[in-house]
């Protein structure tokens, strides 16, 4: 897989030389190329930004350097092939594990790291006439630039490339792989500062362990990401799954009722014994 990143801060991408992604680059599994956007400028100050039309705060990245950078990428590829351009921005479509899986099957991805108030919109419009373009967001928050997002996106995608992760089985039951979060993990020692581990994990019974892990995935997802539970296909849930979800719902309902009772009690106490008001 080939990955190209265009940025005004090439050093920002140096963590991709580390750990499994760095090893994958050394082994030739990933061809990662980082390009300095300022190399495609032609003035003494290597200017990449200017004031926005219509007024307003901040600066906007000029289209000319981006146009030349994209032309350069296209010229260095195999004739007839184009990259899928990804542009991290808070106004993009949400980046998900499903998107990472789909992108991991593509041979060539390129990333445009915006800064300031973003990239001139004409760059995106023009790029869409040449290649697939996706504006993608890590979440509902704003970063100073696209580099941090690219680090996360590249790692999420690259680890799915065959050969990057030594034990491919470790990818099977990860969070988000099948619409659920991952189950709790434990290692030695069996007792630490008074905290033990679930007995079932010591049983050696693979069927019981698998069921416990499935139950815990359902419980954790329902507690932390109820939106994911709502998206599950009911036909994928067995009788035990439904039982676990019913238990979680009952606990949540009891907690909600208890909270409501406590709040009502506080209001009643306030009405019965209001605080003194100084004259």
Compute the mean pLDDT over every residue in the chain, rounded to the nearest whole number. Answer: 90
Q: Where are the domains of the chain?
A: 2-169, 181-273
Tokens of 55: 């007024």
For the chain, the straight-line distance linking the first and the last C-alpha, in angstroms and rounded, comes to 77
180: nearest Cα among 222, 133, 138: 222
Task: Say whether 181-273 and 2-169 share the same fold.
Answer: no
Q: Is 55 left (phi over 0), alpha (psi -120 to 50) or beta?
A: left
CATH number 3.40.50.720 is the correct assignment for the domain at 181-273 = no
Q: Is the pTM of this model over 0.85?
A: no
Angstrom distance (rounded) from CA 150 to CA 154: 6
pLDDT for 19-62, tens place per residue?
Answer: 999 999 999 999 999 999 999 999 999 999 999 999 999 999 99
Rounded to 5 degrees, φ, ψ at 237 are -105, 130
Residue 64 has pLDDT above 60, yes or no: yes
159: nearest Cα among 148, 170, 149: 170
Residue 136 neighbours by CB distance under 10 Å = 21
- Please tell me the predicted confidence (pLDDT) of residue 263: 67
Fold of the 2-169 domain: Alpha/beta knot (3.40.1280)
Q: Please state whether beta strands 49-50 and 84-94 pair in parallel, antiparallel, or not at all (unpaired).
A: unpaired
């Amino acid at each position: 897989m080939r990955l190209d990143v265009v940025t005004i801060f090439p050093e920002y991408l140096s963590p991709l030389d580390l750990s499994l992604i760095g090893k994958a680059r050394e082994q030739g599994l990933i061809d990662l190329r980082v390009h300095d956007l300022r190399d495609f400028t032609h003035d003494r100050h290597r200017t990449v930004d200017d004031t926005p039309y219509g007024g307003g705060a901040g600066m906007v990245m000029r289209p000319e350097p981006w146009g030349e950078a994209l032309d350069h990428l296209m010229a260095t590829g195999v004739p007839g092939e184009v990259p899928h351009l990804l542009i991290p921005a808070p106004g993009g479509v949400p980046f998900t594990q499903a998107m990472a899986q789909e992108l991991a099957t593509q041979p060539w991805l390129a990333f445009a790291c915006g800064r300031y108030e973003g990239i001139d919109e004409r760059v995106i419009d023009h790029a869409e006439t040449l290649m697939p373009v996706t504006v993608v967001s890590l979440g509902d928050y704003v970063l100073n630039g696209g580099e941090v997002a690219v680090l996360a996106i590249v790692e999420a995608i690259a680890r799915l490339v065959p050969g990057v992760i030594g034990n491919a089985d470790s990818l099977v039951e990860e969070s988000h792989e099948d619409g659920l979060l991952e189950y709790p993990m434990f290692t030695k020692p069996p007792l630490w500062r008074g905290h033990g581990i679930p007995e079932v994990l010591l049983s050696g019974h693979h069927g019981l362990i698998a069921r416990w892990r499935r139950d815990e995935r359902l419980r954790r997802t329902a507690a932390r990401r109820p939106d994911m539970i709502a998206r599950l296909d009911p036909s994928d849930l067995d009788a035990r799954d439904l039982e676990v979800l019913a238990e979680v719902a009952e606990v949540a309902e009891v907690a909600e009722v208890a909270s409501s009772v406590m709040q009502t009690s506080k209001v009643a106490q306030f009405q019965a014994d209001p605080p003194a008001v100084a004259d």
